[in-house]
Amino acid sequence: MRNIKLTISYDGTGYKGWQLQKNGNTVQEEIEKAISKVFGRHHRIHGAGRTDSGVHAKAQVAHFKTPVDIPRNKIPAALNSVLPEDISITRAEYVDGDFHSRFDAVSKLYRYFIFNSRNRDPFRERHSWRVPYTLDVPLMRREARSLLGRHDFKSFQAKDKRERHSVRNVSHIAVKKRGTTVTVDIEADGFLYNMVRNIVGTLVDIGRGYLSGGSMNQILQEKDRTKAGPTAPAKGLFLIEVRY
């Protein structure tokens, strides 16, 4: 048996997220269909992270085991030839039999794109959240630092999808501005449902002066979702990298 690790880029606009669902097409389903065509039989694939409906990925990772022998360097082009244009396999590797894309991931890096402009731009609406208010980016950057390290992120967890353990370790967080683009990078050992989007929504509330300096730390301490800001839209969020 081969254990194959795939690196995958996708525009999530048209999908109900990564994970298989009864209703609505998902990225996992499209890739499993492509594998069936190329490998001649069905295989279940396992993704590193379950990106939500509308969330994108520059480098999602998934693995699957197969007895079918197809040369590693032929796999991306073969799968891409039967995949829709908004999903692309960028790499295929043979890995150890016990490699698991999800359980072996040490950290994941997400990047959120804010388009900070009063004017619309049809070419940016699809992959960013347009925020028309003036944002105090240095303040957002300072506030974001409160999240660094090991914390209970209960305040930033989706109300309807609680996990038993809400402690995560954020190893890196960066808020950058370049022209009208503000990006928020967050790397952590794991993420709660909607965690990045809730953090970004809170940072924007701080940046526009709706919440004051010191709010981020206070919200974190309160462990109460109702204290944090709104959930930023899915379309601005990208899974950038899964580290092993």
- Return the active site residues: 52
Per DSSP (E only), the strands in the chain are 2-10, 46-47, 56-66, 87-95, 107-115, 129-130, 149-152, 167-178, 181-188, 237-243
List, as one string, the DSSP characters of 104-125.
T--EEEEEEEEE--SS--TTTG
| Residue 224 near its own copies by CB under 8 A | no
Phi then psi for 99, rounded to 5 degrees?
A: -65, 130
Radius of gyration of the chain (CA): 19
Closest separation in Å from C-beta 190 to its own copies? 25
Nearer CB in complex with its own copies: 56/108: 56
Question: Which listed residue (88, 166, 171, 183) binds its own copies by CB under 8 A?
Answer: 88
47 or 76, CB closer to its own copies?
A: 76
DSSP class of residue 160 equals T
Per rule CB under 8 A, is residue 90 in the interface with its own copies? yes
Interaction of residue 56 with its own copies, rule CB under 8 A? yes
Tell me which stretch binds its own copies (CB under 8 A): 86-94, 101-109, 144-152, 216-224: 86-94
Least Å distance, CB 182 to its own copies, is: 19
User: Which helix (H) or strand (E) covers residue 236, if one does?
Assistant: none
Position among 3, 9, 166, 181 found at the interface with its own copies (CB under 8 A): 9
* Residues in touch with its own copies (CB under 8 A): 9-11, 56, 76, 80, 85-88, 90, 119-123, 125-127
